[in-house]
Structure 1
C-alpha cells in the first residue's frame, strides 16, 4: 500500500514556517508525498507547492477584495486536486478566511480535515463553531485557553503547545552581537515596532514618544530598536528629530531575537513575538493601536480580557498592555510611560516579572509542538509513525 498523501493549505509566511517544521517530523516517505498551497519553507522540505499561497497573504477586508477572484481560482484548484488525486487528509494552518473554503471542498470530496493553529473563535466570532464542526474533524490547539474552548464546544481537539517555542529553541543567535551588548553598562530596552509596514506607521510614532520621555527620566538607558528589514529601519530612523537622544537609540535589522535576549526589558507591539519575550524572560510592556471603527466593532464581538498571548496563557496580566484608539493616543502613551518607568526604575519589579515569565515558560513554553503536531497528524490519518504520540506536561486531548 502506498504512503498516503497529505494536502496542506497555508496562507501566511509564519504558517509556512510552522508547517515546514511539522514536515520535518513526518516519516520521510510521507514528507516527500506532501503537496498543497504554501511557501518556500514547505517547498524546502520536499512539499510540492501547487500554488504559492503565502504570496497572497492579506489582512482585513480591504486587502481581500482586489484578490478575491484569484482566491476563488485557487480554491477551485483545490477541488480539482481533491477529485483527481484525493489525499488521505487535509491539514489547514491558520489563514481561516480562505481555509474555510478549502475545508468545505475537502468535506464535499469526503476527505478528512485537521486544523493546525485554528481560528481564534474563543476570542471573537464564536458563532463560527458551527462551521468548524461541519467541516473540520480534529483541531490541534496551541494555547490552553484555545483547547478548553474547543473542548467545551464539542470539537475533537488536542492541546500540543505553541510552535513558536520551537523556533525560539532552534534559533541560532549572533554571538558577537550578544557579547558586545551584554557588556553594556546601561540598562537595555528592546523596542519592537512590528513586522508589517502598516503596524510600524501607527505604532512606532507612539513608541517614539514613550522613548523620548523615558530617555529624559533615565540617563543610563539605551534603546535597541528591532526592525524586520532595512526598509523598516530607514522609516523608523527618519522620524527622529534633531533634539532626540539618537546616540541612545540604536536601530538594527534582522536582530530581533538577539535584542530580546540581551534586553533588561521591552516595549513592544502586540503579536506572537510576545511569546519570545516570555521564553527569553524579558519583562515587557505592550502597545497596540486600532481605528475607531475597528474598536467599536471589537467591543461587541471580542470576549477576552487581553490581546497579548502570555497574558491569555497566564489568565492574568504579566505584560501590561495598553490600547490606543484612533487619534486618541495621549492616555495610552502616558500609561505606557508609567509602566515602563516602573520596570526601569525598580530592579525588584524586573526580577519579579522575570520569575513570572520563567514559571509560565516552564509550564507552557517547552519546545516540541511541531513534533507533537506531526505525530497527531499521522495518528489522525492512519499514517505509521516511529514515535508514539507524546504527552508533555499540561498537554491534553478531548
Structure 2
C-alpha cells in the first residue's frame, strides 16, 4: 500500500482495519504513516516524503520522489504481493500501478482521482493502471463504467468513523475548553508547504476576529511533525487566545463553532461534524494557474462539490486575505439560522456517504483475488 499524506494515511488506516477483520494474518507494507502503523503496517518510507502539492513545489522534490517510486516498484516486483493498493496520491500511485499491472500484479486504487473536477484526461491512465477503483463518492462508479473500468462505491470511511451526532460537550471537556465559549478552529493543512502558505493567513484572520470580539477562543490542531513550522507563526500573534493541540483534529472539529480550513479532506471532515466553515487556499501562483486551466467545476471544496452549490464560502488565492476570511467567519457566527440549515444539508450528506467501507472494500478485494 502507498498513502502519500496525512489524509491518505487516515483513510488507509480505516481500510486496513476492515481488511484485517476479514484476513487477521494480513501482511501490509509500503509507504504510510501512524494510522496505518497502528494497524500493523510496515512503512518502508514515511508518508510525508510524498506530501508535496502543486507543480512548482513537486519539481523541487522530483528526484527524490522518482527515486522512491523506482525503488518501491523494484521491491514489489521482486516480492510480488497478492495486491497493491494505492491510496489517493494519484501523481505517485498511478504511474507505479501502471508498471505493476503491466508485470501481472493486481492493482487497486482507493479514492478516485477527482477526474470529475479537473484533469479528466487522467481516465486513460487509470484504465491502463488499475484492475479496480474503490470509489468513496456514489456518483463516481458510473463515470468509470462508461470508460470500461471496473469500479465500486464503498462509501467514505470517515463517514463511518465520525458519529452522526458530534459529541460537542465531551470534546470541549476533553480539550479543556469552557462549555459556553465561542470556539474557532484553524486547520491550515497537513503538508509543510500548506502550513507555510496558509497558516499565516488563518492566524492573521484569527487576530482580526479577536480584535473585533475579544471573547473568541481559537484552537489549532497540529499534524504530527509540523510543530516546528507552526510555533514561530503562532508566536507572531502573542495576544491571541490560541490553544495548539497535537493532532486530535476530530475533537477540535467536534468542539468548535466555526472552522477556518484549508481546502482538502479536512473540509469534508468539518462537514461530517456539521460545522460551518470558510474554505481557504493559496499556493504558488504558477501552480494555481496551471491547475485552474484544468478545472472542470466551479467549486474547489469537497462539501461544495458534493452539494453542487457554494454552500460554504471559498476564498482562494487573492481572495484569501485575513480581512476576507474574518468577514466570512463572522457571517456564520452572526447567522444561527443559516448555520442550522447548513447542518441539515451536511447531515443528509453524511447519511449518503455512510457505509461499512471496510467490509465493502474487502468484498471487492475477495472477488478480485479469488479468495
- Structure-2 change in CA distance of 1:301 and 1:217 (3 Å): same
For residue 228 of structure 1, what is the aligned residue in structure 2? 223
The structure with the largest alpha-carbon Rg is: 1
- 1:118 CA drift (Å): 3.1
| Matched position secondary structure for 1:290 | coil
Taking structure 2 as the reference length, the TM-score comes to 0.85
Tell me, in whole angstroms, the C-alpha distance in 2 between the residues paired with 1:173 and 1:64.
Answer: 43
Match of 2:251 in 1: 258
Q: How many residues align?
A: 362
Alignment partners' CA distance in 2, 1:55 and 1:202:
17
Shift, 1:240, TM fit: 0.8
Ranges in structure 2 where 5+ consecutive residues have no aligned partner? 53-57
* CA displacement, residues 8-34 of structure 1 (integer Å, 9 cap, x when unaligned): 344445434433433333366845243
Match of 2:55 in 1: none
- Structure 1 residue 41: deviation in Å? 4.8
Structure 1 alignment gaps of length 5 or more: 1-7, 384-398
Cα-to-partner distance string for 1:144-169 (whole Å, 9 max, x where unaligned)? 34334333433221111112234435
Aligned to 1:110: 104
Residue 395 of structure 1: aligned partner:
none
TM-score by length of 1: 0.80
Give the match for residue 181 of structure 2: 186
Cα-to-partner distance string for 1:83-139 (whole Å, 9 max, x where unaligned): xxxx44333222223323432333233333221113222222222211211232211
| Alpha-carbon offset, residue 54 of structure 1 | 2.7
Aligned to 1:209: 204
For residues 241-294 of structure 1, the C-alpha deviation after alignment (integer angstroms, 9 at most, x for no partner) is 5xxx42x33333333222211211111111211222111111111111022111
- Give CA-to-partner distance per residue, 1:38-95, whole Å, 9 cap, x none: 3365455455x4833636324123222234334322212222223xxxx443332222
Partner of 1:218: 213
**1:303 equivalent in alignment to 2:296:** yes
2:134 counterpart residue number: 140
Aligned counterpart for 1:373 among listed residues 336, 361, 369: 361
How far 1:342 sits from its partner (Å)?
1.2
- Counterparts in 2 of 1:194 and 1:128: CA distance versus 1, 3 Å: closer
